[in-house]
Amino acid sequence: MSYVWQRRNEYELLEVGQEATDEVIRRAFKIQSKAWHPDGFGGFDGDAQAEATLRTEAILAARDVLLNPDTRADLDFDVNIEEPDSEWFTNPLQRDWELWKAMARWMKQEDEGSPFDRKMAFKAGDLIERRRRPSDKQIPHMLRIWDESFGQGFSRAVAEGLE
């Protein structure tokens, strides 16, 4: 059985950013390992306890990778590789993080979309700026927001006027 969390990199497993210090990584490790310790899943079926065991092992490995400067440098190189032929944002404009963030500002100014939509537009810009891939759950929302915003009057010219 494959779990969604198994596709996450070490930063995502520990829920820390690339700028995290060793102290922050250690603290995040303690929080995650306590939350996913198999003993906390004793009343659940065997599958839940087995998943908790696997996740705890992955969390331990993630901590070891991030606390070692050499392995962390290798990971940072891999995480920062831009995916120019990515299937998730095919329009070149959709890879412009400043445009996504301008869209979020425009939505707020024009009172368009929900707070969730504004947050997702800003999140798209933030992820692209940091060269991180949005999750599989975020991508459809981001693409919907993109289409709706351009359908409601947002454009690159509008974005330039917001600056």
In this structure, is residue 157 part of a structural domain? Answer: yes
Confidence of residue 138 (pLDDT cuts 50, 70, 90): confident
1: which 2 tokens? 């059985």
Domain residue limits at 152 = 92-162
Q: How many helices (H) and strands (E) does the chain have?
A: 8, 0
Q: Which of 79, 102, 128 is the last residue of a domain?
A: 79
Do 52 and 71 touch, CB atoms closer than 8 A?
no
103: which 2 tokens? 């869209």
pTM of the entire structure?
Answer: 0.48
Confidence of residue 2 (pLDDT cuts 50, 70, 90): low
Confidence of residue 118 (pLDDT cuts 50, 70, 90): confident
Residue-wise pLDDT for 42-85, tens only, equals: 666 677 778 888 888 989 999 999 999 888 887 776 555 444 44
In this structure, is residue 64 part of a structural domain? Answer: yes
Residue 81: per-residue pLDDT:
45
Residues 100 and 129 in one domain: yes
Count of domains observed in the chain: 2
Q: Please determine, for residue 114, whether its predicted confidence score (pLDDT) is greater than 70.
A: yes
Residue 3: per-residue pLDDT:
63
In this structure, is residue 84 part of a structural domain? Answer: no
